Chain A
Amino acid sequence: MELLEMITNIMTKNGLVMSFLVVGGVMALANLLGKATKGRIAGSAIAIVFGLILALIGGLVTGGEKGLSDVAMFSGLAVMGGGMLRDFSIVSTAFGASLEEIKKAGLPGVLALLIGVVLAFIIGAIFAFAFGYTSAADMATIGAGAVTFIVGPVTGAAVGASSEVVAISIAIGVLKSIVVMIATPMLAKPLGLNNPKSAMIFGGLMGTTSGVAAGLAATDERLVPYGAMTATFYTGTGCLLCPSILYLVLTMFF
């Protein structure tokens, strides 16, 4: 029993370093399974699904909001997978990316960004209405949640939505990023997601940085910098449009 306590202690005290061990183990297992499918499913895609399953288990066991990292001995995962190191490594992937390819996607990229935000907002607002949330504030908040789980609460606070509606908007945003992670590698081929330009359009349309980054990583790692570059403008665009123009348009009808 004392040995078990010592192990837990070491893992809790040295969280970040221990997270390398945990993730390394998960990656090794995922790559083994990937090889077993004869490379039909990429090891990184399996690793990401493992991550989601671990997050679900962690969330169910602790009742917390941060997946497996709410378990004390796995708390280092929150540092390794937190915003700082995630953004730092996303930026590093730009090393070696081609400027010519980025220029090619300039205008379509911007267009994808605007369409992506407005389309998600409209779909979210329609579903909100269909499920009985008929006030402009509620519809705007749930629509904004369909943009990303950050835009949802930002909009909810701006238009004065109830905390229940804000919670729904966050849940929709989180689910969207998870669906993007899983659906992207499966749909990559039929959608022609195999070149830098379509990756930038994909990033602009979907927007959820975590979903886009993980989805592209599981499809072809070399596409990550292109998708991530447009995706990082998405949340900002959403925060700009949702509580202002898009909300005002809704108030005209509801």
Chain B
Amino acid sequence: MVIYGLALLSGCFFGGMLLGDILGMVTGVGSNVGGVGFAMLALILISSKLLKENKLSTKAQDGILFWSAMYIPIVVAMTACQDVAAAIMGGGVLTIICGIVCTIVPLLLIPVISKLGAPSEPLPPLNKD
């Protein structure tokens, strides 16, 4: 059933958030630390185990895949809710220069840090309809 996949996803979400909140409390940050990251790890570990044992029906997988497919539309909705007006008009020159430099400089470090550790192959080209 579709709801089983959704329930698994929600369960991982809850577990990750709880762990993130606990980690935030222990470290004294007061906010959630890496909750979504923990939830993703949990989903990867549990779903790969269930798939191996053939315990996740196609319908249940569809329940999870629906939300993956909704990801970009949700991001579009999210961008439509950002305070773009304030970001552009707000802090003036300082905001604009700082926002741009703070983005570009770290971006340039990606190829440098990528050289560390085991190499990763580029994903195969995508055939989009």
B23 touches A205 (CB 8 A): no
Is there a chain A Cβ closer than 8 Å to B114's Cβ?
yes
Query: Can you list, as one digit per residue, whether each of A20-44 has a CB less than 8 Å from chain B (1) or not (0)?
Result: 1001101100000000000100001
A73 interface residue, CB < 8 Å from B?
A: no
Cβ-defined contact, B114 with A201, below 8 A: yes
Binary interface profile of A, 140-164, with partner B (CB < 8 Å = 1, else 0)?
0010001000100010000000000
Cβ–Cβ < 8 Å partners of B111 in chain A: 191-192, 198
Interchain CB contact under 8 A, A179 and B36? no
Asked if B70 contacts A89 (CB within 8 A), the reply is: yes
| CA gap between A12 and B89 in the complex, in Å | 29
Please, how many angstroms separate the alpha-carbon atoms of A171 and B103 in the complex?
A: 14
From B71, which residue of chain A is reached at the shortest CB distance?
A89
Chain B contact residues: over half helix, strand or loop, or mixed? Answer: helix
**B92-118 interface (Cβ within 8 A of A):** 93-111, 113-114, 116-118
**A67 CA to B80 CA, complexed, in Å:** 6
Of residues 28 to 52 in B, which have CB atoms within 8 Å of A's CB atoms? 29-37, 39-41, 43-45, 47-48
B33 touches A233 (CB 8 A): yes
Q: In the complex, what distance in Å separates the CA atom of A181 from the CA atom of B78?
A: 12
Residues of B within 8 A of A116 (CB): 106
Are A108 and B40 touching (Cβ within 8 A)?
no
CB-based contact B79/A81 at 8 Å? yes
Task: Give how many B residues have a beta carbon under 8 Å from the other chain's beta carbons.
Answer: 83
Does A137 reach chain B (CB closer than 8 Å)? no
B106 touches A205 (CB 8 A): yes
Contacts of A20 in B (CB 8 A): 73
Interface centre among A82, A115, A116, A127, by most chain B C-beta atoms within 10 angstroms, is: A127
Chain B residues with Cβ below 8 Å from A193 are 110
Interface of A, secondary structure class, is helix
* Residues B82 and A172 in contact, CB atoms below 8 Å apart: no
Q: For residue A116, give the distance in angstroms from its CB to the closest CB of chain B.
A: 6
Interface contact A168-B120, CB-CB below 8 Å:
no
CB of A77 within 8 A of CB of B81, answer yes
Complex Cα distance, B104 from A78, in Å, reads: 29
Q: Which residue of A lies closest to B65 (CB)?
A: A95
CB distance from A6 to the nearest CB of B (A): 24
Contacting pair A236 B75 (CB below 8 A): no
Q: A87-B36, A91-B16, A236-B33 are in contact. Are A175 and B77 (CB under 8 A)?
A: no
A95 and B64 contact, CB distance less than 8 A: yes
In the assembled complex, the Cα of A181 lies from the Cα of B76 at a distance in Å of 11
**A80 to B128 Cα, complex, angstroms:** 25
B88 touches A232 (CB 8 A): no
A174→B98 contact, CB < 8 A: no
Q: Which A202-250 residues have a C-beta within 8 angstroms of B?
A: 202, 205-206, 209-210, 213-214, 217, 220-225, 228-230, 232-233, 235-237, 239-240
Assess the A111–B80 pair: CB atoms within 8 A.
Answer: no
Residue of A nearest to B78 (CB): A81
A195-B122 CB under 8 A given contacts A24-B73, A119-B105, A183-B107: yes
Given A127-B94, A220-B123: 5 more A-B contacts, CB < 8 Å: A55-B79, A176-B102, A183-B107, A229-B37, A233-B33
The contact sample of 9 A-B pairs, CB cut-off 8 A, is A52-B79, A81-B77, A89-B74, A91-B13, A108-B114, A115-B113, A174-B82, A175-B88, A233-B33
Which B residues contact A (CB, under 8 angstroms)?
A: 9-10, 12-13, 16, 20, 23-24, 27, 29-37, 39-41, 43-45, 47-48, 61, 64-65, 67-68, 70-88, 90-91, 93-111, 113-114, 116-123, 126, 128
